[in-house]
Amino acid sequence: MATAFRHEALLYAGDDEFVEATVPFIVDGLARHEHVMVAVSAAKIELLRSSLGWDGRWVDFVDMAELGTNPGRIISAWRQFVFDHRDDPHLRGIGEPVWPERTPEELVECQHHERLLNVAFPPGLPWRLLCPYDVSTLDAAVVDEAKAAHPYVHEQAGWWDDAPAGRAVDPGRPLDEPLADLPPPVRELGFDAVSRADALTAVAEVAGPGLAPARADDLGRAVGEVFDNSLRHGGGSG
């Protein structure tokens, strides 16, 4: 049973190794009366249900393809899991956020989320989160980043009772990368007290096609506040 938060990577190759490693991890948690949540693909959920049999009824299964469509939602889901069981916080989870079909943008966000998970929970919270990575389908660079993002890394089944000591992980390293250039066309529009209304009209024209009316109104008000602050405190123009 964990005495502190353990963020662990599991490197496996193919479905058989996935089942071989994760099923004992789940069963071990259930035997210790821990709450277990598993967020993986629908196909892997079926593999686990089939292998777990009757034990599967005690596991909270979540389709990662739905939960992780926006990778930024993943940490929130784990925090909600912890909050829901705050009165009995001995927990364990399995989350597989990365698969070969991820777009480059999604992959970067997943890697950010993996780093930030290390500081998303109080260090004394006794729970374990295992993140499987299929080395038979993922690029070597993705696997290397997974190793770097997790204090604990396992490359075989049968490890859960004698995991090595955790390593320090820098949660902010991926966030140091420069932001990508904005795609064309980029429209630059200056404004002052006289042209403020014209600038707000231009914002509304751009936002209108892509936002619901209420959200477009919210954006207009927010931009208007930025304009006003710039006019009052930024030299009278922007």
Every domain of the chain with CATH number 3.40.50.300 lies at: 6-176
Global model pTM greater than 0.85: no
Asked if 8 and 163 count as a contact pair (C-beta separation under 8 A), the reply is yes
pLDDT, tens digit, 9 for 90 and up, residues 177-212: 666 776 776 677 777 887 778 877 887 777 766 777
- For 6-176, which CATH superfamily applies? P-loop containing nucleotide triphosphate hydrolases (3.40.50.300)
pLDDT, tens digit, 9 for 90 and up, residues 43-79: 999 999 999 999 999 999 999 999 998 888 899 999 9
Quickly tell me which residue has 């109080």 as its tokens. Answer: 122
Nearest to 67 by CA among 46, 98, 39: 39
Distance CA 163, CA 129 (A): 13
pLDDT, tens digit, 9 for 90 and up, residues 121-179: 887 788 999 999 999 999 999 999 999 999 989 886 555 554 455 555 665 565 566 66
Nearest to 32 by CA among 109, 149, 127: 127
Quickly tell me which residue has 């190794």 as its tokens. Answer: 17
| 125 against 95, higher pLDDT | 95
**Residue 47 tokens, joined:** 């593999």
Q: By mean pLDDT, which of 9-18, 66-75, 162-171, 213-222 is the weakest?
A: 162-171
Distance CA 127, CA 156 (A): 21
